[in-house]
Structure 1
Amino acid sequence: MRVYYEDTDAAGIVYYANYLKFIERARTEALLAIGFRQTELRARYGLVFAVREITVRYLAPARLEDQLVVRTASEAPRGARLEMAQEIWRGDTLLVRARVTLACLGPDGRPLRIPADVADALTRLATV
């Protein structure tokens, strides 16, 4: 992804909270890459993923017009819980490392076990 003016502060450095948007988009793209659309998951299983916890380590700044790559990996899902590791890179420089815990929720907002076919597909996201 490219860093746009709207992503930066007055100094042309990416505003810290915008990295959360970048990794959110990358999680959506990762699901699409393994064959799942979030709208279909909701329609088919009544499930949505919600961020339960996130830890972010900022290592170096991204700047206006940088080209970034977000790498996303998943651990094997456990019940209604999914752990993901994400990294944001500019070339060969690691900028951000994040660990995200997602909860799978049903239509009533309560935890819902991740369906077996979805869990199996998530194991394809095994390496960052």
Structure 2
Amino acid sequence: MGHQFDLRVYYEDTDLAGLVYYANYLKFIERARSEWVRELGVDQAALKARTGAVFAVRRVVADYLRPAVFDDLLQVRTAILGVSGARLQLEQVVWRGTLRLFVAEVTLVCLDAEGRPTRLPEVLRAQRAAR
């Protein structure tokens, strides 16, 4: 179970050594999370306009296992580790074929317009851990 997001490595994603620049993996997993939430039916702009609620990354623990390079076709797989009232814990893995390149555990929180924790949208609270 979980979500899959495909992407291609472009020249702009790489560093002087020709490898994907380390911070770009965080961009890749952010894109995958945004697409996952969109596919669940959550319009983040409408949510913010209607309730003031936004998602914020609280914590990321990342392991860089192997490099990706220009023109690689990658897949980000997102799995839920845990859900509580205002918090969502995910595992996100970047794959190139059958090779794991990058693994991150990400904790997201839902915040109100004043920056205080607020309940996740029901569709996210209803999600179950994949493990």
Counterpart position of 1:84: 90
What are the ranges of 5 or more consecutive residues in structure 1 without an aligned counterpart?
Answer: none
Counterpart position of 2:70: 64
Give the distance between the partners of 1:24 and 1:69, measured in 2 at CA: 13
Give the distance between the partners of 1:44 and 1:119, measured in 2 at CA: 18
Give the distance between the partners of 1:27 and 1:117, measured in 2 at CA: 14
- Percentage of pairs with the same residue: 54
Give yes or no for the alignment of 1:94 onto 2:100: yes
Shift of 1:18: 0.5
Give yes or no for the alignment of 1:16 onto 2:16: no
Give the letter for the 2:40 counterpart.
Answer: I
Give the distance between the partners of 2:51 and 2:77, measured in 1 at CA: 27
Give TM-score scaled by structure 2 length.
0.88
Please, which moves more after superposition, 55-64 or 35-44? 35-44
Give the distance between the partners of 1:72 and 1:118, measured in 2 at CA: 14
Give yes or no for the alignment of 1:4 onto 2:13: no
Shift of 1:75: 3.2
* 1:76–1:119 CA contact under 8 A, matched in 2: no
* 2:40–2:123 CA contact under 8 A, matched in 1: no
Shift of 1:54: 0.2
RMSD: 1.6
Q: Match of 1:75, SS?
A: strand
Shift of 1:44: 3.1
- Residues 20-78 of structure 1, C-alpha deviation per residue, up to 9 Å, x if partnerless? 00000000011011111211221233210101110001110000110000001123421
What are the ranges of 5 or more consecutive residues in structure 2 without an aligned counterpart?
Answer: 1-6
* 1:76–1:82 CA contact under 8 A, matched in 2: yes
Give the distance between the partners of 1:127 and 1:33, measured in 2 at CA: 17
The count of corresponding residues between Structure 1 and Structure 2 is: 125
Shift of 1:10: 1.3
Q: Match of 1:21, SS?
A: helix
